[in-house]
Structure 1
Amino acid sequence: MAEKAIAALTEAQASEELARLAHELARADQAYHGDDAPVLSDAEYDRLKRRNAEIEARFPALRRDDSPSDRVGAAPSEGFAKVRHAIRMMSLSNAFSDEELQDFDKGVRRYLGLGADEPLSYTAEPKIDGLSLSLRYENGRLVQAATRGDGAVGENVTANALMIDDIPDRIDGAPDLLEVRGEVYMSHADFEALNLRQAEKSARTFANPRNAAAGSLRQLDPEVTRGRPLKYFAYSWGALSARLADTQMAAIERLSKLGFRTNPLTKVVEDVDAMLRHYAEIEAQRATLGYDIDGVVYKVNAIDLQDRLGFRSTTPRWAIAHKFPAELAWTWLDGIDVQVGRTGALSPVARLRPVTVGGVVVSNATLHNEDYIAGRDAKGEPIRDGKDIRVGDFVQVYRAGDVIPKIADVDLERRPKDAQPFEFPHLCPQCGSDAIREPGDSVRRCSDGLICPAQAVERLKHFVSRAAFDIDGLGAKQVEQFYADGWIAEPADIFTLEERFGSGMQQLKNREGWGEKSAENLFRSIRERRRIPLGRLIFALGIRHVGEQASLLLARTYGTWEAFETAMVDAALMEGPAWDAILAIDGVGRVLAQSLVATMNQDAERAVIDRLVALLEIEEAEAPYVADSPVANKTIVFTGTLERMTRAEAKARAEALGAKVSGSVSSKTDIVVAGPGAGSKEKKARDLGLTVLDEDAWLDLVGR
């Protein structure tokens, strides 16, 4: 949707759109990072993520805690041992225009307090389209190789990494601990040769070099990896026992001297104009490089400035990826399906005649909602020059990598004469109930909630997903099967399966694809998941607007299920101290809070939740501990003007030290840091007898 349309969104429309984007992008993350089977193109993925960021910027209070802006990758596969990264593997924020790159530079300068004319250099390097891999060396020996996974936990692929010629098993002259980070990729020539060999053996061929590289690295048999022509570029680092160098460029040069391949197109640039010139130079060479790139990455060159800038939840403040433009292709639209999600949203999907766009065969496209199909935005303003989308149309498909494309245009001259405008259903295609579109809402929803089988199945799929209960042997296909057979209708039914059918569960063992061993493994996995961390449980409930990050935040805030439940009940009227306390949680907005409290106080929903909770052992949430931190687990409020650092830097530093930062003062606040112009928050803090510090005292407390 155009910028004008975003500017015209109401708060309700923005909330619905953010919910849709969170769902769509989470599905794409899992397909791309977790399954090596992308469902969206890079162009469409980038477009959706950019749209999400633009809406969040316009409506900051609506930012979801499962926001795609806060997410990296997907949960690691169950085929490999899990590895927890000592330092989280971050993704990068994106720029899609010269103006956005200029905004990035201005933001870095503003954060650091640098003027527009003060020197600030960056490195610029090609963004390799491959699979991120971290290599941990101890005393010069490779001891572990891990994929990025979800950023915090990846897959142990050490045996496979040792099969890659570009990855040394021993290095000399490195720090005692060195974690090298880079990208596994496959050249165009090697990709074509591999697919030819696969076709000759009637084996699986790959859609593009990135998928081939990912599939080759993530083989359970390392000998298969040995036979695949994988390469590796090193471009960064994680845990270190000693700094590699004082600048990004010098550190890259040192990695090269240690024996790692680094990209020869990496260079230092002194300003935005130089960044753009190098971007143009790299883009001009893109077709002849022999490997896939999808943009240019810029990083602040000085390491001490990188340290000051630090990180957002999933991205560094000191780096950005400047993406290349999208790719286009034309094909026929064979059909439009309408799917029903777990919140009842009716989501139209275009079924395309398969077409290759930039090396990837695509057959699906997102159509967003009924307005998008009709050629208008939520305010009735025309998009695509007002052209609607009809089954049988010849359509332009938009993509730039590995995500579901969108339909960018329609060729009216090739429209069949009998093509009819698409009539968006007003009844749920799954249960036949009314599909209602509330005033100001861009999405039509099934009105029957838990009664609708599609919603019930989608909620059960969410419940067993990796970030929720993660029950081995009970995935999406099994959920659909068990629901159709009448074995499970709600989450609690999963934990009574063994009791109802017995440990043998003859019905299951006799089903195709199941045996005694697989049935026993399923029951064991279900028993193991009766004990669940509080954050995972809250996320698993599938409450609208409450994503993974929000669930962890709520768990950390309340600690126990009993405290969480009591707080939600006490806030039932959405007013009073309990309600105010929810809104005071930094990162929880009004829309999320309303959805949470309404669900926890709705009789039918609570009955489902209560039946589940009665069968579980819920772990208390552990507050993060930061060794020797004087503010660990304390609640901090910053108010007034800070003079020694920006507000953003102060907040980031406090959170890095294990503190919770709140936007409002209450009796539960531990410290208020007040600068000039603090006003009512400082007065309230003093009236409550709280600790009030000026900026110098705060810096003395946490260490300057």
Structure 2
Amino acid sequence: MTQNQTHDPSGLSQEQAKVELLQLQAQLIAADQAYHQDDTPILSDADYDAAKRRYQALVTAFPRLQEIATQLDTVGAPVGSGFGKIQHVVPMLSLGNAFDDGDVADFDRSIRSYLGLDANQPLAYTAEPKIDGLSLSLRYEKGVLIQAATRGDGATGENVTANARTIADIPQQLQGAPEVLEVRGEVYMSHEDFAALNARYMERGGKTFANPRNAAAGSLRQLDAEITRERPLRFFAYSWGDLSAPLGNTQSEAIERLHELGFQTNPLTQSCASVAEMIAHYRHIEAQRATLGYDIDGVVYKVDALALQARLGFRSTTPRWAIAHKFPAELAWTHLEAIDIQVGRTGALSPVARLTPVTVGGVVVSNATLHNEDYIRGRDNKGEEIRDGKDIRVGDWVQIYRAGDVIPKVADVDLTKRTGEDVPFDFPETCPECGSPAVREEGDAVRRCTGGIICPAQAIEKLKHFVSRKAFDIEGLGAKQLEMFYGDPDLPIRTPVDIYTLEERDAGQLAKLKNRSGWGDQSAANLFAAITEKRNIALGRMIFALGIRHVGEVAAKDLALHFGSWDELAKALDLARPAALAHRSADMAEDQERAEANREGRRAKIKETREAVLSRLELHLAAREAWEDLVGIDGIGATVGLSLSDALANAQERAVFDDLVGHLNISAPAAPTQESPVAGLTVVFTGKLEKMTRDEAKARAEALGAKVSGSVSKKTDILVAGPGAGSKEKKAQDLGIRILDEDGWLAEIAPK
């Protein structure tokens, strides 16, 4: 397995990427609980953030994965209960990742494309070591340090002000600073100090730390600041948040200003005028990695001009103008003790390798993803060999591959250590949780349980998703409580509706259960109050919470914005159902024709077109229009449309949805905060835009409250047509839709 195959998402098929994304998703959720609820981290903060970046890289490479990406808009993790909370005025975001030189070149091309710059126009960057520590934000007002906060989930961090004041590298007062200055950087521990700290703990018979990053993070998060004072923590400043006045015109000037104010800044930070210079500096830093005296896991590149940073802006969790170029992965050999099959929320059967624990890259690894049954057999989804065709068997010695951005994988198998008694792994054809048939559909790399809500694993995972932070976020009703309630004979929670009838059905049951479940009168009252509070829910969160396959948080928000109410969405899906079935029939006809052509050894030529199938079905015009409107929503498409249609056509699921809606007060998406002539209108962009990129145009339209669609229909209000506009412009003319050129559009949205 080459580095490129492992690190570059484009080396994966759509289905392989989907399986990896779901594995990462499960790991991120488990890491949140382990770190913030159980106080027993299974991942370091840096590894957690790196797994999130891999997750986002997969979605970037495969846009359709956005529809199932429930963790897409999360950053870091929620704050722990032992500290006060601080809301970040400016969110603390994570970074996108690059894994090889090609990714860096792609990053530069994407920046130039967004800004409309050609390859010959100058564009400067900075390159700096990526410190493997804990992110910290320091707020100064009138030169005085008033608060310090961890990154937390990006929006809210832990108040660690008292602890930060004990770190010698952090000035308590500044001379000549802006009235408001929020300095951001990384708390870390040097190798020398880490070794000395562990030596002291060993002398006392205490527990030692696994690595410097864990030691730094644990030290900063001590509830007793005097313990933090005893720990040799350090701080590098590399960024800023809220400011009352700019620090400079460029990243380089701003970092120099921070150094002049008394902050430690990394001396290896350098300006670069090209991709070649960026990569050369990366190699320079990489060569010094072992002798720096502190841990780094890559190099961060940032667009130097702050005006361009402002123009580039942010995605949901990452800035467009920065990327982390990660160092290569590390490998280790260990014993494969077992292969477990986990059943996910959508019924996917996911194999997981249980390993004899081994340290890889400073982290103890005991589990690894095995993707799917083809991967175990040494084949990709096309039947071609991977790992030279070596299958994976229980009892094998396997090489584990772990980069900073991904969960561990099996890179190779040592066939010389097989005993002859090991046998190929038989992937189950029935669900290990409920015994229902596990079916692998044509073209799908994943086998899925057909049990639906009768499958405990699916039901419980759907419930956990329903109460998760990005969904209903019901305090006091987490994974452990749901597992208890699910199996309780007296007061079960089997569907989301059961949550909202819990108090009515209670009749003192929680109090009666307290001896074996930890519930009493006060905890019951708190839970009921939390449930009542979350009867009020935004439409987008409610749609996301239902856990419909392919409908992630972004897709749910798009649906909410487009339809405005659950009733309108349900009505549209009911109306579009015949067209959805026809679309699937057309897909099947195309697949069959293609398969027949391939079997005959000819070049695949599709005789039965989608249009022919649809025309024979003679769909009602209203069904066609409803389907076209649904799949024309920017970011939705046929995959999400079919999944929504199937979910609402399932009698059991539909009954749950309809019953649930009756228990809720669902709010429509908020109107834009500024007056806008295009608020609520549906806009389609076509042709080449010359004064802004397509991404910029879409972002500005949505910020003004418009709905951006990818196709023209009767519901389209404005078509913005640039040079080269084709069939969309013709259709808009036929439908009598208002057509504007780019100048007309800019005049339309200009402040009046």
2:745 aligns to what? 698
- Greater CA deviation, 647-656 or 417-426? 647-656
Q: Please tell me the residue identity of whatever aligns with 1:545.
A: H
Partner of 2:303: 300
Distance 1:260 1:7 in 2: 40
Does residue 1:344 correspond to 2:372, yes or no? Answer: no
Q: Give the C-alpha shift of residue 70 in structure 1.
A: 5.5
Does 1:561 pair with 2:560?
no
Structure 2 residue 647 is the aligned partner of structure 1 residue 596: no
What does residue 607 of structure 2 align with?
A: none
| Residue among 358, 362, 369 paired with 1:355 | 358
Q: Structure 1: which 5+ runs fail to align?
A: none
2:471 is the alignment partner of 1:468: yes
Name the amino acid aligned to 1:21. Answer: E
1:214 aligns with 2:262: no
1:63 Cα deviation (Å)?
4.3
Task: After TM superposition, give the deviation of residue 205 of structure 1 in Å.
Answer: 4.8
Report which stretch shifted further, 426-435 or 152-161.
152-161
Per-residue deviation, 1:543 = 0.7
Of 619, 624, 627, 1:576 maps to 624
1:394 to 394, 397, 406: 397
User: Quick check: 1:84–1:154 contact (8 Å CA) kept in 2?
Assistant: yes
* TM-aligned CA distance change 1:226 to 1:698, over 3 Å: farther
Q: State the shift of 1:274 in Å.
A: 1.2
Report deviation, 1:142: 3.6
- Taking a change above 3 Å as real, the CA distance of residues 494 and 149 of structure 1, as seen in their structure-2 partners, is same
**Aligned equivalents of 1:460 and 1:189: distance in 2?**
47
Distance 1:384 1:212 in 2: 37
Q: Does 1:331 align with 2:363?
A: no
d(CA) in 2 for partners of 1:371 and 1:70? 31
Quote the Cα distance in structure 2 between the aligned partners of 1:41 and 1:76. Answer: 12
Deviation at 1:336, TM superposition (A): 1.1
Cα displacement (A) at 1:587: 1.4
Change (3 A) 1:169 1:549: farther
SS of residue paired to 2:457: helix
Q: In 2, Cα distance between the equivalents of 1:256 and 1:439?
A: 59
TM norm structure 1: 0.90
Question: Are the equivalent residues in 2 in contact too, given 1:396–1:407 (CA < 8 A)?
Answer: yes
Change (3 A) 1:21 1:212: same
Give, in angstroms, the shift of residue 223 of structure 1. 4.5
Q: Does 146-155 or 339-348 show the bigger shift?
A: 146-155
- Determine the structure 1 residue equivalent to 2:38: none
Separation (CA, whole Å) in 1 of partners of 2:162 and 2:249: 33
Q: Which residue of 1 aligns with 2:24?
A: 25
> For residues 427 and 386 of structure 1, what CA distance do their matches in structure 2 show?
26
Alignment of 1:333-482 (within 5 A): 333-401=336-404, 404-482=407-485
Give the direction of change, closer, same or farther, for the CA distance of 1:545–1:17 in structure 2 (3 Å limit).
farther
Query: Residue 711 of structure 2 corresponds to which residue in structure 1?
Result: 664
Equivalent residues, number: 698
Q: CA deviation at 1:18?
A: 4.8
* Separation (CA, whole Å) in 2 of partners of 1:398 and 1:87: 36
Indicate the larger mover: 684-693 or 598-607.
684-693
What residue in structure 1 maps to residue 321 of structure 2? 318
Q: Which amino acid aligns with 2:371?
A: H
What is residue 242 of structure 1 aligned with on the other side? 245
CA contact (8 A) 1:534 1:619 kept: yes
Going from structure 1 to structure 2, the CA distance change for 1:532 and 1:399 (only over 3 Å counts) comes to same
What RMSD in Å do the two structures reach over aligned CA positions?
3.1
Question: What are the within-5 Å matches in structure 2 for residues 55-74 of structure 1?
Answer: 57=61, 60=63, 63-64=66-67, 66=69, 71-74=74-77
Aligned to 2:507: 502
**Distance of 1:640 and 1:402 partners within structure 2:** 37
Give the drift of 1:276: 1.3
Look up the SS of the partner of 1:296 in the other structure: strand
Please tell me whether the aligned partners of residues 20 and 371 of structure 2 are also in contact (alpha carbons under 8 angstroms).
Answer: no
Question: Which residue does 1:521 correspond to in 2?
Answer: 526
C-alpha deviation, 1:31, in angstroms? 4.8
Q: Check whether the contact 1:40–1:403 (CA below 8 A) recurs between aligned residues.
A: no
Query: What secondary structure, in the 3-state scheme, does the structure 2 residue paired with 1:455 have?
Result: helix
Equivalent residues of 1:123, 1:298 under 8 A apart: yes
Q: Deviations over 1:61-81 (max 9, x none)?
A: 564262766653344445545
Bigger mean CA deviation after superposition, 377-386 or 400-409:
400-409
- Using the size of structure 2 for normalisation, the TM-score is 0.85
Task: Please tell me whether residue 183 in structure 1 is matched to residue 189 in structure 2.
Answer: no
Q: Aligned partners of 2:221 and 2:737: how far apart in 1?
A: 54
Q: Cα–Cα, structure 1 residues 297 and 365, in superposed 2: closer, same or farther, change >3 Å?
A: same
Cross-structure match for 2:595: none
CA distance in 2, matches of 1:522, 1:44: 30
Q: How far 1:630 moved relative to its partner?
A: 5.2
Deviations 1:574-617 (A, max 9, x none): 24222222212211121112111210221010112223222222
Q: Deviations over 1:12-70 (max 9, x none)?
A: x73x545433332233334556754245998999699669746864x645642627666
1:585 matched to 2:633? yes
Cα distance change on mapping 1:592 and 1:146 into 2, 3 Å: farther
* Displacement of 1:524: 2.4
Distance 1:254 1:631, change over 3 A: farther
> Which amino acid is 1:537 matched to?
M
Pick closer, same or farther for the CA change 1:64–1:201 going to 2, 3 Å.
farther
Distance in 2, matches of 1:677 and 1:120, equals 29
Cα deviation for residue 295 of structure 1 reads 0.6
Pair 1:543 & 2:591 matched: no
Q: 513, 525, 533: which is aligned to 2:538?
A: 533
Per-residue CA deviations over 1:186-232 (Å, capped at 9, x if unaligned) read: 33334444455566677665433333333333444544444443332
Paired amino acid for 2:739: V
Contact 2:28 2:52 in 1 (8 A): no
Per mean C-alpha deviation after superposition, the further-off stretch among 287-296 and 186-195 is 186-195
C-alpha separation in 1, matches of 2:441 and 2:383:
16
Query: Residues of 2 paired with 1:8 and 1:137: CA distance?
Result: 46
2:672 is the alignment partner of 1:673: no
Q: Is the 8 A contact 2:510 2:520 kept in 1?
A: no
Give per-residue Cα distances to partners, 1:656-682, cap 9 Å, x unaligned.
455432222345444432222223433
Counterpart in 1 of 2:599?
none
Residues 9-20 of structure 1 aligned to structure 2 (within 5 Å): 14=14, 16-20=15-19
For 2:726, give the aligned amino acid: G
Going from structure 1 to structure 2, the CA distance change for 1:292 and 1:305 (only over 3 Å counts) comes to: same
**Do the aligned partners of 1:349 and 1:364 also contact (CA within 8 Å) in 2?**
yes
CA contact (8 A) 2:343 2:457 kept: yes
Query: In the alignment, which residue of structure 2 is the partner of 1:129?
Result: 132
1:570–1:426 Cα change, 3 Å: same
The yes-or-no answer on 1:652 pairing with 2:655 is no
Q: Give the AA of the match of 2:652.
A: A
Seen in structure 2, the aligned counterparts of structure 1 residues 56 and 271 have a Cα distance that, compared at 3 Å, is closer
Report the CA distance shift for 1:147/1:506 in structure 2 as closer, same or farther (over 3 A): same
1:141 aligns with 2:144: yes
Q: Partner amino acid for 1:519?
A: A
- How big is the shift at 1:84? 4.1
- In structure 2, what is the equivalent of residue 637 of structure 1? 684
Q: Distance in 2 between matches of 1:657 and 1:159?
A: 42
Tell me, yes or no, if structure 1 residue 106 matches structure 2 residue 109: yes
Partner of 1:622: 670
Give the unaligned 5+ runs of structure 2: 36-40, 581-622
Q: State the Cα deviation string for residues 537-567 of structure 1 (Å, max 9, x = none).
A: 2122111111122222222332333333323
CA–CA separation in structure 2 for the residues paired with 1:493 and 1:671: 45
**Structure 2 contact 65–550 (Cα < 8 Å) conserved:** no
Is the alpha carbon distance of 1:192 and 1:654 closer, same or farther for their aligned partners in structure 2, counting shifts above 3 Å? Answer: farther
**Distance across 2 between alignment mates of 1:108 and 1:300:** 9
Asked whether the 8 Å contact 1:19–1:545 carries over to 2, the reply is no
User: Would the aligned equivalents of 1:131 and 1:147 in 2 still touch at CA under 8 Å?
Assistant: yes
1: CA distance, partners of 2:48 / 2:148: 31
